Amino acid sequence: MLVVTGADGFIGRAVVPLLLRAGHDVRGLVRAMSGDTVARREYMAVGDLAQWPDAAMRGAMRDARAVVHLAGLAHRAAASPAALRAVNVDVTARLARAAAAQGVAHFIFASSVKVNGETSVPGHPFRESDAPNPLDAYGASKWAAERALGEVAESTGMRATILRLPLTYGPGAKANIAALARALRRGIPLPLAAIENRRSVLGVGNLASALLALVASEGDAQRATTYFVADANAVSTPALVEAMARAMRVRARLFALPTSALRIAGAWSGRSEIVERLLDTLEVDTAEFRARFAWSPPYSLDEGMAQAFGPAAPL
């Protein structure tokens, strides 16, 4: 039995079917039942994880051999540091302790590249050996959750694997990806053609494949290990937008503005953080994960975008 938290999120919706097709029994934990989950026995409504009693957590871990913890409070301006800690740190630690108490062998945690920072030096992608450098409350909460999970793993003997994820896209993705998709659908010209950055991205199909490789693997010598996972190639922001447009079968109406002008516009509009993510380089090195688990991303960028935004993609 595999327990998946956040099973009805956009990542969970890709992961659960793949695990089922691979022959695993799945217990997908969701906040509340929906039209998609109410008639399916693999889903279990648990309400707000932060309010979930410890005894109920332990009960949900019964007979599980691995937990894939995808649920969490996403990065957004309205989330306070206290709320981020309650959901991303405290819930992770409590789930890990509940899993260990029930004899779960492996706890897999979806963390964030923001633990390492907001930008990488061009030509020098982040590696697992790099020192954490979270620059906002969200990144700090994920780093604190990683440390809490490591402490549980060391004290209980449970194996823990932490995946630091870059920008992840798929059906139902939100934030910048959703905003770009809306602009493309409306035919809005975008001043992004002059950007020459490099961004690691991750399609949910590739993440689901990586998780399947993890679930099937044997333990490491260390109780807690950290890896980066991403698509095969980093892309520039214009290339990412053009791939989205191809999947949507629309024209990407890109034009060039100097990056200095974009930064000024971002500061003037109060959207500097969004603009910087479109401009800056943020790459990760996935060599350790690929070598350790003999894994390669099965989907190209165009295939991943077709899954997310193509005619057959869920609305």
Per-residue pLDDT of the chain (315 residues; tens, 9 = 90+): 999 999 988 889 888 988 999 899 999 998 887 766 655 677 888 888 888 999 999 999 999 999 999 998 886 656 788 888 999 999 999 999 999 999 999 999 999 999 999 999 999 999 999 999 998 999 999 999 999 999 999 999 999 999 999 999 988 888 788 889 999 999 999 999 999 999 999 999 999 999 999 998 887 767 789 999 999 999 999 999 999 999 999 999 999 988 888 888 778 877 777 788 888 999 999 999 999 999 999 999 999 999 888 775 654
> Residue 187, by phi and psi: left (phi above 0), alpha (psi -120 to 50) or beta?
left
Long-range contact set of residues 129-138: C-beta below 8 Å, sequence gap at least 24 = 136/75, 137/79, 137/80, 137/81, 137/84, 138/73, 138/74, 138/75, 138/79, 138/84, 138/88, 138/112, 138/114
Q: Where are the beta strands (DSSP E) in the chain?
A: 2-5, 26-30, 43-45, 66-69, 106-112, 159-165, 167-169, 201-203, 224-228
pLDDT of residue 171: 87
pLDDT of residue 265: 77
> Domain coordinates of the chain in residue numbers?
2-171+201-232+283-299, 175-196+235-279
- Among residues 43, 138, 169, 299, the one annotated as catalytic is 138
Q: What does pTM read for this prediction?
A: 0.92
The verdict on whether 138 is a catalytic residue reads yes
Best CATH choice for the domain 2-171+201-232+283-299 from the list 3.40.50.720, 3.30.420.40, 3.10.20.90, 3.20.20.70? 3.40.50.720
CA dihedral 205, 249, 179, 89 (to 10 degrees): 0
